[in-house]
Amino acid sequence: MQNSADYLSVTTLTKYLKAKFERDPYLERVYLVGEISNFRLRPNGHQYFSLKDDHAKINAVMFKSAFQKVRFAPKEGLKVLVVGRISLYEASGAYQIYVEHMELDGVGALYQALKELQEKLAKEGLFAAPKKPIPLFPKKIAVLTSPSGAVIRDIITTLDRRYPLVELDLYPTLVQGNQAADNIVKNIKQVEAAGDVDVMIIARGGGSIEDLWPFNEERVARAIFAAKTPVISSVGHETDTTIADLVADLRAPTPTAAAELAVPSRQEILSQITDRRARLVRQMQKRLLTEEERLQKIQTAYIFRQPERLYEGLSMRVDLAKNQLTHGFRQILSQKEKRVQHNLERFRQFDPTLQVSRFQQKNALLKGQLFQEVRLLLNAKTNAVGSRIQALDLMSPLKTMTRGFAYVTKNEKIVRTVQDLALQETVEMHFADGTAYAEVKQIKEEKNDESESIL
């Protein structure tokens, strides 16, 4: 049997193995490819995680100085290329890689395409557009996810626990692979065509960027943006952010959180109802107490004890107004009576009967004056006519003819000279008392006191 002095201690063996790791030239600088696992960001500190592939896993350490040079955000499931050294951690006896440099492997093009698509959609306003509100009490929720797996079970469990009144419609959806994007768009359109869905949840579990890539497709983003139904996106883990999350109306970190955001909590609603009921009861009790105090104060007020005091002032005001009104009416009545008397006096002055009587008197006076003037004028004219008649009578040929004179006419023309006569013609001889007809037998013309006879 070996002496105990021949046995190595664990520490001795561990240090020997560590020396072997550090002296091996192949392990001083190792280029390793693997998938990040068990990563949890430690701000401002060293980072501890694992690198794995399908058959093995190795612990990794990246000190703060080296991690600050990494140009991307490491997260679960990313496939990376690392450069570092292999050593042994004595405390646990586990070997690990101390990473000095790390970069993406194979997904660099995907990240570049994702960045370019994000910039394009951001310029178009798909991310900054107003979000549709999530109904407070939805009646029907459509879930677009894989029909198998923990995602749908978590959502169903959460909805049953929080709000069992809601109706859930599952649209079996491919959430990974080349045909997933087209299937997601197709199911979104089917939900829109149904027209009776209040909220749409698009969900899947975590995975690498390749696994989540269907939710970074442009056609999926535009289908979500064009949907009239509010969309809650829950894709990947809390640290994963896809374009679908940015376009959706609400982002949930997990499928359970998506279900919680989609419906209210039954317990919270009941608690709020109970609380508001209690507050309402308290408010009503307080209001009743206030109204009772007010009623007591009103009942003890002097108005109810001596109600006549309520209208004493009004009664005095009514009497005063009545007196003022009576006095005013009297003044108005007096003024109106004076105006009436004044108008009567004026009416009497312009009474048509009086006017007619005056005009009749004036007419009779003028008529008498007119008759007197006419008589005087008639007498004067009569005297004047008589005088002129006498004068005319004195000058009248008839007056002369009464003294033996006559005048001769021929053919109704006065014969003024014998030259107007001819022998054997008949002439008229006009006397004062009649006419005689004579035939000219002889014409004797006298000239310069000489007489000539013509037979």
d(CA 127, CA 122) in angstroms, rounded, equals 6
Q: Are 397 and 407 in contact (CB under 8 A)?
A: yes
Q: Where are the alpha helices (DSSP H) in 195-254?
A: 218-226, 243-247
User: Under 8 Å CB-to-CB from 106, ≥6 apart: which residues?
Assistant: 79
User: Under 8 Å CB-to-CB from 103, ≥6 apart: which residues?
Assistant: 70, 71, 72, 80, 81
pLDDT in tens, 245-283: 999 999 998 899 999 999 998 888 888 889 999 999 999
Give me the pLDDT at residue 174, please: 92
pLDDT in tens, 347-375: 777 767 777 777 888 888 888 888 898 88
Q: What is the largest CA-CA distance in the chain?
A: 241
Q: Position of tokens 């004068």? A: 391
**Fold annotation for 111-264:** Rossmann fold (3.40.50)
Q: Are 399 and 393 in contact (CB under 8 A)?
A: yes
Q: Are 210 and 113 in contact (CB under 8 A)?
A: no
d(CA 190, CA 171) in angstroms, rounded, equals 9
pLDDT at 448 over 60: no
Helices (H) and strands (E) in the chain, counts: 14, 16
If one counts every other C-beta atom within 10 angstroms of the C-beta of residue 418, the result is 14
**Fold annotation for 4-105:** OB fold (Dihydrolipoamide Acetyltransferase, E2P) (2.40.50)
DSSP 429-455: EEETTEEEEEE---EEEEETTEEEEE-
pLDDT in tens, 148-202: 888 999 999 999 999 998 999 999 999 988 899 999 999 999 999 999 999 999 9
Q: Is-same-fold flag (4-105; 111-264)?
A: no
Give me the pLDDT at residue 455, please: 33
Domain ranges of the chain: 4-105, 111-264, 401-454
d(CA 190, CA 187) in angstroms, rounded, equals 5
